[in-house]
Structure 1
Amino acid sequence: MFASVAAHYLWWIVALVLIAIEVIMPGYFMLWIGIGAAATGLLALLMPGLPLLAQSIAFALLAFLSCAVYWYVLRPKLQRNEPGDERLNRRAEQLIGKRYVLIEAIVNGRGKAKVGDGQWLVSGPDLPNGSTVEVVAVDGTTLQVKQV
């Protein structure tokens, strides 16, 4: 089959098929393996007498190399780390460092503070109702506070 059709065309067809698979099922790896197949097609174009075994080995190496370039070079640059993402779904931890007013005095280490339009359990030193407190830590659904 390779004798009747130039080998580089077959490698480019393989590359297009792999890239089409990537479009249908995104995940990046088929794209990079397809790039390896396209590079193998370019190699076969530049070296027309290259045996099929050598082309296959070159494809495996180029596919591995292109995946490694993506994984170790491009992927870290493409990842977006927005400030606060590490606490996105942990609302209580987002309250650390903020100040609130007690709506129920802290007695024996327990009370309540107004947070937004709701109220949260707080623990800390005994303080009267109306005191301003700062959140210093979170223990489950209880905010640990200190007097401001």
Structure 2
Amino acid sequence: MEQVATHYLWWIVALLLIGGEVILPGYFMLWIGIAAAAMGILLLAIPGMGALAQAIVFGVFAFVSCFAYWKLVRPRLERIPPGNERLNRRGEQLIGQRYVLCEAILNGRGKAKVGDGTWLVTGPDLPLGATVEVVGIDGTTLRVKAVDVG
């Protein structure tokens, strides 16, 4: 009966670690939780394993699983597919696009209609309704130049 409780204990530890990963994401608890689950499975196959042997094998499993994450999984997660280099930098996606001013640029500052919102713009003084092209971005302010529409 003691061995049944031991492999259940490893599965409980695995669930706690994986649950902790869900609450506080950082990837390392997930892989240690996977090692604990593997330890629970190993105890089903070798029920008479002593506590010291379990601790050593768990340490090895945890190291191997974290190493596998670091060397195999992590590099694949960090790769950016071609064309998505600016995926989470919306302002940089706007460079080269043309928009219409919804507020004239006076003293170098105005606003342009971008999608369903407005963005602050800086550039040469231009009247309301002028078409501008985004040439750069400073934080949340777009740098624009006048576009000859004609």
Give the shorter-chain TM-score range: 0.5 to 0.7
Structure exhibiting the larger radius of gyration computed from Cα positions: 1
Which sections of structure 2, spanning at least 5 residues, go unmatched?
A: 23-29
Give the number of equivalent residue pairs. 137
Shift in Å, 1:36? 4.1
1:126-141 maps to which residues of 2 (within 5 A)?
126-141=125-140
Q: Does the Cα contact within 8 Å between 2:102 and 2:112 map onto a contact in 1? A: yes
For residues 88-127 of structure 1, what are the alpha-carbon distances to aligned partners after superposition, in whole Å with 9 as ceiling and x for unaligned? xxx6455333211234554553444333455544222344
Q: Distance in 2 between matches of 1:93 and 1:77?
A: 24
Partner SS state of residue 58, structure 2: helix
Match of 2:20 in 1: 25
Match of 1:142 in 2: 141
Match of 2:100 in 1: 101
**Equivalent AA in structure 2 for residue 67 of structure 1:** C
State which drifts further: 114-123 or 127-136.
114-123
Q: Distance in 2 between matches of 1:59 and 1:51?
A: 12
TM-score, normalization: structure 2?
0.60
Q: Distance in 2 between matches of 1:146 and 1:62?
A: 59
Q: Does the Cα contact within 8 Å between 1:40 and 1:59 map onto a contact in 2? A: no
TM-score, normalization: structure 1?
0.60
- Relative distance call for 1:10 and 1:78 in structure 2 (3 A) is farther
Which sections of structure 1, spanning at least 5 residues, go unmatched?
A: none
- Relative distance call for 1:120 and 1:65 in structure 2 (3 A) is closer
Partner SS state of residue 25, structure 1: helix
Q: Does the Cα contact within 8 Å between 1:18 and 1:33 map onto a contact in 2? A: no
Shift in Å, 1:65? 1.3
Instruction: State percent identity of aligned pairs.
Output: 46
